[in-house]
A and B are shown apart, each in its own frame.
Chain A
């Protein structure tokens, strides 16, 4: 991600006449502003679709209930993200990413897959993780963080695994290394 910014900055520099080099580079990239309502940083436009959640939702209300509805799902997502961003094995990956947006998108995705009444408005899994260079070890750590969050929410182990069965096939889009 950081290298991408550098690459963009460099290409801008190359197209710029050498004479006005310092001033223009500064002006060309203004500080992005957080949305006053959502608290999220702007992202490039993309098409929205529930298909981007990456898995067909469960049917019925069993899984929604097992996760204690929207409230429980929110606690699970926050519990997972809270653990991930301080887990020394993967915390670095999250530095300088918009965690407000990440929590919101993950909540929508989990809520949609668990058939708890949400639409997913985030990006697809391939686009979201393309530039992160994740390894299967990173995914296993995040799964452990998710398992810990689900255990704190007192979600039965069979239901935990049922949910993981929806995420497991996404490895091919998330793990690029």
Chain B
């Protein structure tokens, strides 16, 4: 980061912290300047990315000249579960992203089977921070991706369930490094992320177990084709640890289509295969997410 942008970052953060951004600051900032869809969409963990996989893109529509924000809501309908999540994120100068997401997994009848009661809902808060360390997703050297590092601190609200399924802790922190590039010559966006995690089902079933309690590297890959300025289709694959003795955990995949209705509103629809979740196999279904970004 050069001296000017780090100075601007500090000024912006201070101005945000005390909520007294005077007209002078407002004039210096220039918000909403990103090209359509180049900020990605919100993941179910709240960070900027595809639907399931985190990318190195910084949330919101601002470039290095401004501060951006986004909010999203996502529903996933599965044979045995209903997922809802929502969250907000802030992007500072296309450099730093702060995010929060709330995840809720309604266990419907599985809740009865597991003795939790019908419709028992597992909840989790995810607090994220991401730093772009190099590169640019659109510009610069055609082969140099945008690279970011990030953390996601996750807090499950269901300590008793986590203990009952054999999770070692209801809280955990994932670390990741992510590389994303829009290869304009082929209209293809590619992303690869390595995440160090011990989360069981993303953390909804806690972190680690008595026998498996280390952060393990997992892979998240996305490949997308830009059909038009507003329309992108693609697929994602995400590997997951398999720490719990009582239930197998599978990798995730999705096939998605994202459409920018306006400069600010993006809708993403996907087919998702989340595999086996807490003894219920073949959780394949529909994913719908709405994002507003500024």
Q: Is B184 an interface residue (CB 8 A)?
A: yes
How extensive is the interface on chain A, given as a class? 20 to 34
Residues of A contacting B281 with CB < 8 Å? Answer: none
Q: Is A144 an interface residue (CB 8 A)?
A: yes
Contact of B140 (CB < 8 Å), options: A135, A161, A162, A172: A172
Residues of A contacting B139 with CB < 8 Å? Answer: 136, 139, 168-169, 171-172
- In Å, the complex CA distance between A139 and B22 comes to 27
Interface string of B175-212 (1 = CB under 8 A from A): 00000000111110000000000000000000000000
- In Å, the complex CA distance between A169 and B181 comes to 13
Query: Are B185 and A169 interface neighbours, CB within 8 A?
Result: no
| Min distance, Cβ B36 to any Cβ of chain A, angstroms | 8
Known: A161-B184, A164-B184. A169 touches B226 (CB 8 A): no
Question: Which residue of A has the minimal Cβ distance to B38?
Answer: A140
Interface-located stretch among B27-35, B41-49, B101-109: B27-35
Question: Which residue of B has the minimal Cβ distance to A144?
Answer: B35
- In Å, the complex CA distance between A147 and B228 comes to 10
Q: Is B77 an interface residue (CB 8 A)?
A: no
Q: How many inter-chain contacts with C-beta < 8 Å in the A-B complex?
A: 57
Question: Which residue of A has the minimal Cβ distance to B36?
Answer: A144
Q: Is B138 an interface residue (CB 8 A)?
A: yes
Known: A157-B226, A168-B139, A172-B140. A140 touches B34 (CB 8 A): yes
| Min distance, Cβ B32 to any Cβ of chain A, angstroms | 8
- In Å, the complex CA distance between A162 and B185 comes to 4
Most buried by B among A135, A136, A171: A136
Query: Are B185 and A137 interface neighbours, CB within 8 A?
Result: no
Residues of B contacting A157 with CB < 8 Å? Answer: 187, 226-229
Give chain B's interface secondary structure class. Answer: loop
How extensive is the interface on chain B, given as a class? 20 to 34
Query: Are B35 and A140 interface neighbours, CB within 8 A?
Result: yes
Give chain A's interface secondary structure class. Answer: helix
Residues of A contacting B138 with CB < 8 Å? Answer: 168
Residues of A contacting B136 with CB < 8 Å? Answer: 171
- In Å, the complex CA distance between A169 and B142 comes to 7
Known: A143-B35, A168-B140. A137 touches B65 (CB 8 A): yes
Most buried by A among B30, B35, B66, B186: B35
Known: A137-B30, A144-B35, A147-B229. A171 touches B185 (CB 8 A): no
Contact of A136 (CB < 8 Å), options: B33, B184, B187, B229: B33
Question: Which residue of A has the minimal Cβ distance to B66?
Answer: A137
Interface string of B139-164 (1 = CB under 8 A from A): 11110000000000000000000000
Interface string of A149-177 (1 = CB under 8 A from B): 00000000110011011001101100001
| Min distance, Cβ B62 to any Cβ of chain A, angstroms | 9
| Min distance, Cβ B145 to any Cβ of chain A, angstroms | 13
| Min distance, Cβ A43 to any Cβ of chain B, angstroms | 28
- In Å, the complex CA distance between A162 and B226 comes to 12
Question: Which residue of A has the minimal Cβ distance to B136?
Answer: A171
Q: Apart from A137-B30, A165-B142, what 17 extra A-B contacts exist at CB < 8 Å?
A: A136-B64, A136-B65, A136-B139, A137-B33, A137-B63, A137-B65, A139-B139, A141-B33, A143-B35, A161-B185, A164-B184, A165-B184, A165-B185, A169-B139, A169-B141, A171-B140, A172-B140
24 examples of A-B residue contacts, CB within 8 angstroms: A135-B33, A136-B33, A136-B63, A136-B65, A136-B139, A137-B30, A137-B33, A137-B63, A137-B66, A140-B34, A140-B35, A147-B229, A157-B227, A157-B228, A157-B229, A158-B187, A161-B184, A164-B184, A165-B142, A168-B138, A168-B184, A169-B139, A169-B142, A172-B140
Give B residues with C-beta under 8 Å from A. 30, 33-35, 63-66, 136, 138-142, 183-187, 226-229
5 nearest A-B residue pairs (beta carbon): A137-B33, A165-B184, A171-B139, A165-B185, A161-B187
